[in-house]
Amino acid sequence: MRDKLILLSGWGLGSAPLQPLADALRGLDPRLHVQIEPLPLLDSSDPADWLDELDANLAQDAWLGGWSLGGMLAAQLAARRGERCNGLLTLGSNLRFVAEPSWPAAMADETFAVFRQDCCADAAVTLKRFALLCAQGAADARGLSRQLLAAAPPAQSTTLLAGLDVLAALDTRAALQAFVGPQLHLFAGADALVPATVAPALLALLADVEVGLIDHASHAFALERPHEIAAAIQAFLHEAGDD
């Protein structure tokens, strides 16, 4: 299925933030079948359970991609599938979302712990705050955050907390090093959640992957700048032999 691209959603906000990007990709290449896949609705905090669920339900031999947490899961799944994955692309996805000494280009552990605590106390309010963080750095941050929230699924604290635990547990460095297929990793220059310094850190780890930075864009850059990102993805697919 070299003409099929599966995009995994990010945490909490559903599939809608990726829809304009999918539409833009289809407009550039009508032969490309783009499927947006929501994250599993699981109570488990074990990333292996999420990957098992995705592996069982997503088409084989497709391109895998995703936004933020979705991109991290796509990276793990690509490494698991190996030659059964045509290639990988991630959008605003850190290699570790929570910082540690060997990977400082990430969110401070204390900041993440407070965010998780807030989500446990009031998931709806936390999701609103998350939408604002996703939109921070955009030309119209308030309008973009309202757009994100308006299309978000109802906040389910159990599933959201499990997703946060998976986000904190994932470390995709080994997966990206193990996956031998083509890779494209796009980052946003004004991202409030995944620092732009991840781009050079990723290149230092893996010199033979494609890395791009969209200047003056927010974490929700797939919704904010869909045509620009679609052009970069199409160029990557064609360069990787998907003509």
> Annotated active-site positions, please?
68, 191, 219
Q: Which residues contact 229 (CB under 8 A, 6 or more apart)?
A: 21, 24, 91, 186, 214, 221, 222
| Pair of tokens at residue 42 | 């699981």
Give kind and range of the element (H or E) at residue 110.
helix 109-121
Give kind and range of the element (H or E) at residue 12.
none
The three-state (H, E, C) secondary structure of 40-53, written as one string: CCCCCCCHHHHHHH
The three-state (H, E, C) secondary structure of 205-236, written as one string: HCCCCEEEEECCCCCCHHHHCHHHHHHHHHHH
